[in-house]
A and B are shown apart, each in its own frame.
Chain A
Amino acid sequence: MSIPLASTADTELNIIQRLLNNVRQLGSLGFFSVLVVLVAIIPLLFIIQNSLELSTEKWLGLWSARLPGLLWNTLSLATLVALGCFILGVSSAWLIARRDFAGKKLATWLMVLPLAIPTYVFAHIYTIMLDSDGWLGQVWLSLFGDTTAIPDLYNIGGVTLVLSLAGFSYVFLLVKGALLRGNRSLEEAARIQGASPAQVFWRVNLPLLRPAIAASLAMVVLHVLSDFGAVSMLRFQTFTLSIYLQMSGRFDYQAAAGLSLVLVLLSLTFLVMERFFRHRQRYYSNAQSSFIKPQKATFGQQLLIWIWLGLISLFAFILPLAWMINWSWTSWTHALIGEEFWVYVKNSMTVAFLSATLALICAFPVAFYHARKRSLFSNSLFNLSTVGFVIPGPVIALGVITFLTTQLPLLYGGLIALIFALVVRFLPLASQAQEAAMQQLTPSIEQAGRILGAGPIENLRRIVLPMISGGIASAWVLVFIDAMKELPATLILRPTGFDTLPVRIWIEASEEMLELAAPAALMLVVGTLPAIWLMMRSDAKANKQA
């Protein structure tokens, strides 16, 4: 059989017609999400434009001299941190979701609070504590004596430790949610068939938890790929650090752009793969799943649980917090905290509030379109909207400045550039969290609303938004926390004379003014508390409904 070949003119006409059709099919939702994605990829365009100026010869040079080492470092770090977060996050989530013990609420808080500490603060505090006259250094010396050197953090182990402590809470949150909503009957069936508790965990629970684990580990890996604070402080050569050094050491912008492009491609590949595997495994829970009652823990078990959870939170939160309070106290008594300190607090909160809210609004059409359509096109849009997260902060910053000064010069100055960059950067957090909530929305409810005469806007306001409010709240909180902590882009993009808490931490820490860096870090933790409280509350509500 032969297929008749259409003439070129014909095909062109066809293509145009199809395009027009596509636009019509896109609808307003699709239109808005295309618009958002177009804005989100502006920094990517900047990278592409700059890396096009890279000659083939230089590409080859980069390829042979840098990429193998960088790829190895970055990928092994991502794997190790994912493993670390898996162990810490799943174990704590399991204990808290499935066991009843005293102080459970406190434990939950302690597992989430590390989110309030940025990676550069973790790295900073731990390097100081591990000094021979630091808290941990002293403990080490009194335990092992002078002969064994105190371990330092300037290696992959140290970076893994810091990033795992800073990131396991994401795994904890998502896995705990999945465990609470999970279906008990499968476990019971397995037990009846004679499986041991360990077997049940490995063969029933873990596979059922896979979507939650995958999603949270994806978030962890994205944080690792984009982390700048810990790797630069601990001098571990990953893509972000190398990109930064290209720009700052040699003023080689093309090489920096080339490396950024590779990093973006790497992360996109990772995201697509992750989504692909997640798609193949979807589990639907029965409408009448029995409510899971956590088992009462015996006294001995309670002790063991608290030893494990206590150990985690000791290193992930309590020690860093104690350090901050200690040094803040010193600077307070020396009257080093002036009026301007409260301005930094206000600035940080304003920036985080604005970017979280705007990111949420921008992410909505992208997430909603993706949840509704599930086409290759919506998928690509959704994935493209995530590029901002993995482009290193300094590169995003330069991209945003270039775009604004050349295309929209009137908007340059003030906070717009900074908010713009932060929204682009954290858009994926917002859209991922919203999309997850939207997936639980049955289209039939919406259709019922339409039948009863509600317009699309009213439908959105009265049905869709209230139903996904939990997801929206947690999306907002995630972005708010990350925007509070963001450093590299903020450092470059903040308006002149506009300092935020992370900027102050950076300035004081680079001058080794510990007693001045500590209050800013402490305030950062305090400032994120309301956001975390909001998240815990909506989390608790959601679990009550399930």
Chain B
Amino acid sequence: MKFYRIFSLFLILVAQSTFVNASDDALVIYSGRSDKFVKPVVEAFTQKTGIKVILHSAKSTALLNKLRVEGERTEADLFLSNDAGSLQAGTEQHLFQSIPDELVSVIDPALRARDNSWVGLSARARVLVVNTGKKDVQNIDSVFDLAKPQLKGRIAITNSTNGSFIAGATVYMRASDKYSTQKWLKGLKENAEGQVFNKHSKVVKEVASGKKDIGLINHYYFYRHLEKEPNAPIRLILPDQGDKGMGIAWNVAGIAISKYSKKQEQAKALVSYLISIEGQKMFAEVNREYPTRKDVSAHPDIPPLNSYKTANVPMVDLFTYRSETIELIEKLGMP
């Protein structure tokens, strides 16, 4: 009878799906970083060590929530995120375990957790992009200038729920002070005139097309655009330099080992591969980011590390002061 045939098919499906468990012999990474940037380096790792890796991708914060409620039942061995704030949030919730010092000592202490519960793998800079045809924005040298009244209607920024935007504002708040940051955000809101963009790539596009004159972005979006349109009339500005400048805001992508990982040795092997010279180069270069290891040089296209000054704000602050930034943003009603 038809009914029974359908029913038995159903039972087979149930039985099969109950035992979907691909992760028995593979490392599981909860990854908040784009698949295509992680895959090459992970595949190289597998080839080298024979350890299989499963990428479980979603938004960093969602994965962190998952890790938290799963507790010791989690299948995740590692947590990978594009945002130091999310990584530190995991640390504060005791979801990670410390990575031995000798493994991560090559990485600048400002770019990892105080207890080594996470370690930065690649860094990105908040920079300005300007349209080369617009004369009066060529000399802008601080992100705070974006709030000046003469740029009304001429700036392109992402919406204020964007993680990089929040992280950037947090750094500015720590490097300068709360009052100036509040004033800055208010100016940005006015200058944006209600039009903000969903994506950084859109911000660059607006500037390249001349609809907007200046934009605030992570540096690699600039190169991504040039890759598609090599002759785009855009230029990169490294803001807030010089003696008085606070320096450029950085944020890192990093990795942590789950507290309840049952494959700690393999997990540590992956971390040490990502920190190795080979791993660092591959991890950062696919997205033209900066390797966090100083003895590995960045992609030749991007401004060399020692050519500019970065804001002196430890990455853990991106978590500690995150709520404060969000409160500022929400109080102002930023779009």
Residues of A within 8 A of B36 (CB): 511, 513
Q: Does A127 sit at the interface, judged by CB under 8 A? A: yes
> Which residues of B115-161 are within 8 A (CB) of A?
159, 161
- Pick the most buried of A235, A248, A405: most chain B CB atoms within 10 A of its CB: A248
Q: Is the CB of B23 within 8 A of A512?
A: no
- Given the known interface contacts A496-B28, A496-B54, A507-B35, the answer about A413 and B75 at a Cβ–Cβ threshold of 8 Å is yes
How far, in whole Å, are A508 and B21 apart by their CA atoms in the complex?
25
Q: Does B244 sit at the interface, judged by CB under 8 A? A: no
Q: Is the CB of B18 within 8 A of A416?
A: yes
How far, in whole Å, are A499 and B31 apart by their CA atoms in the complex?
13
Q: Is the CB of A414 within 8 A of B59?
A: no
Q: Is the CB of A250 within 8 A of B322?
A: yes
Residue of B19, B161, B166, B323 near A235 (CB, 8 A) is B161
How far, in whole Å, are A398 and B70 apart by their CA atoms in the complex?
9
Q: Does A245 sit at the interface, judged by CB under 8 A? A: yes
Q: Is the CB of B62 within 8 A of A248?
A: yes
Q: List 20 A–B pairs whose Cβ atoms lie within 8 Å, in order of A's numbering.
A: A154-B335, A233-B198, A235-B161, A248-B59, A249-B322, A250-B322, A250-B323, A251-B65, A350-B13, A353-B10, A354-B17, A398-B66, A398-B69, A401-B69, A413-B21, A491-B58, A491-B59, A495-B21, A496-B76, A503-B58
Q: Does A402 sit at the interface, judged by CB under 8 A? A: yes
Q: Does A394 sit at the interface, judged by CB under 8 A? A: yes
Residues of A within 8 A of B105 (CB): none
Q: Is the CB of A414 within 8 A of B61?
A: no
Q: Is the CB of A414 within 8 A of B13?
A: no
The smallest beta-carbon distance between B33 and chain A, in angstroms, is 10
> Which residues of B9-28 are within 8 A (CB) of A?
10, 13-14, 17-23, 26, 28
How far, in whole Å, are A416 and B13 apart by their CA atoms in the complex?
12
From B54, which residue of chain A is reached at the shortest CB distance? A497
Residues of A within 8 A of B93 (CB): 251
B interface vs A, CB < 8 Å? 10, 13-14, 17-23, 26, 28, 34-36, 54-59, 61-66, 69-71, 73, 75-76, 89, 93, 159, 161, 166, 195, 198-199, 201, 209, 211, 322-323, 326, 335
Give chain A's interface secondary structure class.
helix
How far, in whole Å, are A114 and B321 apart by their CA atoms in the complex?
44
Residue of B20, B64, B76 near A498 (CB, 8 A) is B20
Interface 0/1 of A82-113, CB less than 8 Å to B:
00000000000000000000000000000000
The smallest beta-carbon distance between A134 and chain B, in angstroms, is 12
From B30, which residue of chain A is reached at the shortest CB distance? A496
Q: Does A529 sit at the interface, judged by CB under 8 A? A: no
- Given the known interface contacts A249-B326, A353-B13, A507-B35, the answer about A496 and B23 at a Cβ–Cβ threshold of 8 Å is yes
Residues of B within 8 A of A498 (CB): 20, 22
Interface 0/1 of A365-396, CB less than 8 Å to B:
00000000000000000000000000000100
Q: Is the CB of A357 within 8 A of B10?
A: yes
> Which residues of A236-250 are within 8 A (CB) of B?
245, 247-250
Q: Does A409 sit at the interface, judged by CB under 8 A? A: yes
From A248, which residue of chain B is reached at the shortest CB distance? B61
Residues of A within 8 A of B70 (CB): 401, 405, 412
Q: Does A415 sit at the interface, judged by CB under 8 A? A: yes
Residue of B14, B69, B211 near A405 (CB, 8 A) is B69
Residue of A412, A415, A497 near B73 (CB, 8 A) is A412
The smallest beta-carbon distance between A400 and chain B, in angstroms, is 9
Residues of A within 8 A of B322 (CB): 249-250
How far, in whole Å, are A354 and B58 apart by their CA atoms in the complex?
23
| Interface contacts beyond A247-B61, A405-B69, A510-B59: sample of 13 additional A-B pairs, CB < 8 Å, sorted by A | A250-B323, A253-B65, A398-B65, A401-B70, A402-B69, A409-B73, A413-B75, A491-B58, A492-B66, A496-B54, A497-B23, A497-B55, A498-B22
Residues of A within 8 A of B161 (CB): 235, 245, 249
Q: Does A132 sit at the interface, judged by CB under 8 A? A: yes
How far, in whole Å, are A491 and B166 apart by their CA atoms in the complex?
24
Q: Is the CB of B19 within 8 A of A414?
A: yes
Residues of A within 8 A of B71 (CB): 405
- Pick the most buried of B36, B62, B63: most chain A CB atoms within 10 A of its CB: B62
